[in-house]
């Protein structure tokens, strides 16, 4: 900057010094070395004489900066190319931050989707920069060459966006400001994506167009607000998101992402309507398929909807294939990694389940649900310290998902905090909008294992749970905590034999691999159960088998 000021040069339209992305600077003036010194010939220079020493010093310094042997690496791409970027959450600088937050979150997501269209450039999403989450740390976690950050300010009918391209080692490569109408945020993000692409490639290309965009300002507003409610994940917000996505489709029947988000919302709401889950699954599939017909750009992403439903039905190979399709899309939603993590856990691949949970959280560390998933994955791996850390993170965020509270209940029981576990179980069942009549007698028996009367009452209660509509996986856990292997197996066989129950419970098969479920795994009929659930056949088809209390796969 100092040299440019001395030379009177313009950084945007340079004459003397050019910025080279991820490398440094380049002297643009031609350097000519004469064959011999001819002092008698006086040539006129384009530069005043007093600037020659500055240019020579600048050239020397720039050459040394770029070529010095101890220069640190620029990032994952050793040759300096940017082959992968993460679009971080932009900062909201609007006066009315709370009301306009949905625009900021939607902008970041759509920018990532647009950049994913650039050939040979991988794009993903990431968190907002902070003192704890520096650019270098985020780039390392997401394994990308560069980050795109910035800010958005929407006031009245005008919006200002400032975008910044940051190298993996934290250096600012480029920044630019974009102004436009608030209702034209999609056009603004296309302009940002185009300029970022031009900087990365070092050349000007055609304008990037969003693969899909709302046809009207009304549809845009409905969709963006729906995204905000969807990310909250509590039942009230999910119901509001469902309405907004349905309204978006009414406003623009050709906007595919609205169908995709509506299907995701429906699947999340199925946890609160267990008696209607099969019906809801079919509705979500129908919505996703309609969306693909209306907008082919969501074809791959819709795989996550099919993957979720096939997982629920216990169609393991079909579920895997559906997620494989989803992961070939231009942009991958963190929810896809979260749901895939649960599928991997259900088929006993606990290490891989944890890996995808961590990937999902790295994309959105502020997500209560994704922190919860990491906690549960660590708990399944018996890593109590990390499980405790992420459970506390999720709890501090106010996570409202029933599965989180059930997972935390099991963690507390293992950690010896039975009374706190009792309160957490009640909170989980309240979120499920169910009757918690069974919780106190069961936990009384767990809290006083030497009291025969309380133990007898607890056993009678668990027997009633089977016929009183309590989810079978909860009944299985209760029997297992009391060490009743035959009763656990009886309920598990009901799940395997009953298609009605199966639609409710196959996603919960991951509980089989908990330490607390060892009585089930050591039961003589466990191999038969695995066959009925289709797990033995699936494992055989992919070179795996159940051996020594775990899934073992042939990696050769």
What is the average per-residue pLDDT within 200-222?
80
Higher pLDDT, 454 or 141: 454
Tell which residue, 477, 447, 445, 485, has the closest CA to residue 461. 445
When pLDDT is averaged across residues 508-533 and rounded to a whole number, the result is: 94
Is residue 262 over pLDDT 90?
yes
* β-bridge partners, 552: 545
Whole-number Å distance between alpha carbons of 161 and 178: 5
Residue 73's pLDDT is: 39
Residue 235 pLDDT exceeds 90: no
Q: With a cut of 70, say whether residue 11 has pLDDT above it.
A: no
Task: Pick the most confident of 100-104, 125-129, 146-150, 215-219.
Answer: 146-150
Between 6 and 529, the higher pLDDT residue: 529
The residue-averaged pLDDT of 43-70 equals 49
Whole-number average pLDDT of the chain: 84
pLDDT surpassing 50 at residue 31: no
For residues 318-341, give the mean pLDDT.
92
Q: What pLDDT does 216 receive?
A: 84
What number does CATH give the domain 84-205?
3.40.50.10070
Query: Max Cα separation, the chain?
Result: 115
Q: Which of 341, 326, 348 has the alpha carbon at shortest distance from 521?
A: 348
Nearest to 347 by CA among 547, 546, 492: 546
The least confident of 45-59, 375-389, 440-454 is 45-59
Lowest-pLDDT range of 334-343, 380-389, 407-416, 507-516: 507-516
Looking only at the bridges linking them, the beta strands covering 172-181 and 550-553 are: unpaired
Can you give the pLDDT at residue 56? Answer: 52
pLDDT of residue 25: 47
For 328, residues 6+ apart whose C-beta sits below 8 A from its C-beta are 300, 303
Rounded CA-CA distance 542/535 in Å is: 11
**For 71, which DSSP code?**
P
Domain extent listing, the chain: 2-67, 84-205
With 70 as the cut, is the pLDDT of residue 474 above it? yes
Give the pLDDT of residue 38.
46
pLDDT at 54: 54
Q: What is the per-residue DSSP string for 396-431? A: HTT---HHHHHHHHHHHHHTT-HHHHHHHHHHHHHH
Query: How high is the pLDDT of residue 44?
Result: 47
* CA dist., res. 352 & res. 378, Å (int): 11
Counted residue by residue, the chain has a size of: 556
**pLDDT in the model for residue 504:** 47
Q: Of residues 356 and 131, which shows the higher confidence score?
A: 356
Residue 51, pLDDT above cutoff 80: no
Say if residues 124 and 138 touch (Cβ distance below 8 Å): no
DSSP H or E stretch at residue 152: strand 146-155
User: Residue 163 phi/psi, 5° resolution?
Assistant: -110, 145
Flag whether pLDDT at 185 surpasses 80.
no
Separation CA 4–CA 2 (nearest Å): 5
Q: Does position 499 have pLDDT exceeding 80, yes or no? A: no
400 phi and psi angles, rounded to 5 deg: -115, 15
Task: Return the SS3 of 225.
Answer: helix
Mean pLDDT of 154-167: 90
- pLDDT attached to residue 4: 45
**pLDDT for residue 207 is more than 70:** yes
Distance CA 455, CA 484 (A): 12
């Amino acid at each position: 900057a100092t040299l440019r000021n001395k030379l009177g040069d313009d950084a945007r339209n340079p004459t003397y010094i050019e910025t080279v992305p991820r490398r440094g600077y380049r002297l643009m003036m031609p350097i000519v070395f004469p064959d011999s010194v001819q002092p008698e010939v006086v040539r006129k220079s384009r530069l005043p004489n007093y600037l020659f020493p500055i240019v020579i010093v600048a050239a020397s310094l720039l050459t040394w900066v770029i070529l010095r042997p101890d220069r640190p690496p620029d990032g994952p791409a050793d040759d300096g190319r940017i082959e992968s970027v993460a679009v971080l959450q932009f900062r909201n600088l609007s006066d009315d931050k709370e009301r306009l937050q949905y625009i900021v979150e939607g902008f970041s997501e759509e920018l990532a989707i647009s950049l994913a269209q650039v050939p040979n450039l991988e794009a993903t999403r990431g968190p907002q920069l902070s003192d704890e989450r520096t650019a270098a740390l985020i780039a390392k976690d997401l394994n990308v060459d560069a980050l795109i950050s910035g800010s958005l300010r929407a006031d009245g009918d005008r919006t200002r966006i400032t975008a910044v391209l940051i190298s993996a080692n934290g250096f600012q490569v480029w920044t630019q400001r974009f102004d436009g109408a608030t209702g034209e945020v999609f056009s603004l993000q296309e302009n940002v994506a185009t300029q970022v692409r031009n900087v990365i490639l070092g050349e000007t290309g055609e304008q990037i167009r969003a693969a899909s965009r709302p046809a009207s300002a009304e549809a845009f507003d409905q969709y963006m607000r729906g995204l905000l409610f969807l990310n909250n994940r509590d039942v009230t917000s999910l119901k509001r998101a469902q309405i907004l996505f349905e309204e978006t489709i009414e406003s623009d029947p050709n906007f595919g992402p609205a169908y995709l988000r509506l299907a995701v919302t429906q699947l999340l709401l199925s946890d609160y309507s267990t008696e209607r889950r099969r019906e809801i699954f079919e509705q979500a599939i129908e919505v996703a398929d309609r969306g693909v017909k209306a907008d082919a750009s969501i074809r791959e992403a819709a795989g996550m909807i099919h993957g979720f439903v096939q997982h629920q039905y216990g169609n393991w190979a079909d579920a895997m294939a559906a997620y494989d399709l989803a992961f070939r899309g231009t942009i991958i939603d963190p929810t896809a990694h979260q749901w895939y993590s649960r599928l991997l856990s259900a088929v006993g691949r606990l290490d891989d389940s944890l890996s995808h949970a961590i990937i999902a959280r790295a994309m959105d560390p502020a997500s209560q649900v994704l922190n919860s998933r990491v906690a549960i994955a660590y708990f399944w791996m018996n890593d109590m310290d990390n499980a405790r850390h992420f459970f506390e993170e999720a709890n501090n965020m106010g996570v409202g998902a029933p599965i989180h509270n059930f997972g935390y209940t099991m963690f507390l029981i293992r950690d010896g905090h039975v009374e706190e576990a009792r309160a957490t179980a009640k909170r989980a069942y309240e979120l499920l909008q169910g009757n918690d009549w069974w919780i106190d007698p069961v936990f009384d028996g767990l809290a006083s294992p030497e009291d025969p009367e309380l133990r007898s009452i607890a056993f009678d209660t668990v027997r009633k749970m089977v016929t009183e509509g309590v989810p079978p996986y909860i009944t299985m856990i209760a029997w297992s905590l009391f060490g009743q292997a035959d009763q656990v197996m009886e309920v598990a066989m009901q799940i395997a034999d009953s298609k009605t129950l199966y639609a409710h419970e196959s996603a919960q098969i991951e509980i089989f691999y908990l330490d607390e479920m060892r009585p089930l795994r050591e039961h003589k009929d466990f191999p038969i159960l695995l066959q009925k659930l289709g797990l033995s056949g699936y494992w055989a088809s992919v070179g795996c088998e159940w051996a020594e209390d775990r899934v073992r796969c042939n990696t050769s």
